[in-house]
Amino acid sequence: SQTIHQWPATLVQPVGSPLSLECTVEGTSNPNLYWYRQAAGRGLQLLFYSVGIGQISSEVPQNLSASRPQDRQFILSSKKLLLSDSGFYLCAWRASGGSETQYFGPGTRLLVL
């Protein structure tokens, strides 16, 4: 069966510091991968998606970037965090080849102070 992992679970970072959040998927090959952010009490906003290694599409202009160095690894980064980067970050995967359902990881709660 497939599983998706995210770490860390919680992170408190000062403004201006760098960020690296990691997402890995097990039990599937060549998944589509997605990063979402959820502000408090709100729905999810799609940040990035990837259909293959090194292929990243950005949905909204922002202070963040994403990379996919391996087939089942998706990384969310920032060089200098802003207060507005605080939120709950969720990674999701979808099987390639027409499957429509997305499966979400447990999320990383980021607080920028």
Partner 1 sequence: SQQGEEDPQALSIQEGENATMNCSYKTSINNLQWYRQNSGRGLVHLILIRSNEREKHSGRLRVTLDTSKKSSSLLITASRAADTASYFCATAFDSWGKLQFGAGTQVVVTP
Interface with partner 1, residue 57, by CB under 8 A: yes
Interface residue with partner 1, options 14, 29, 43, 69 (CB under 8 A): 43
Interface with partner 1, residue 94, by CB under 8 A: yes
Phi first, then psi: give them for residue 84, nearest 5 degrees.
Answer: -70, -5
Interface residue with partner 1, options 25, 66, 81, 90 (CB under 8 A): 90
CB–CB of 32/98 below 8 Å? no
Task: Output the smallest distance, CB 10 to partner 1, in A.
Answer: 10
CB-nearer residue toward partner 1: 68 or 94: 94
Burial of 48 (0-12, 13-18, 19+ CB in 10 A): buried
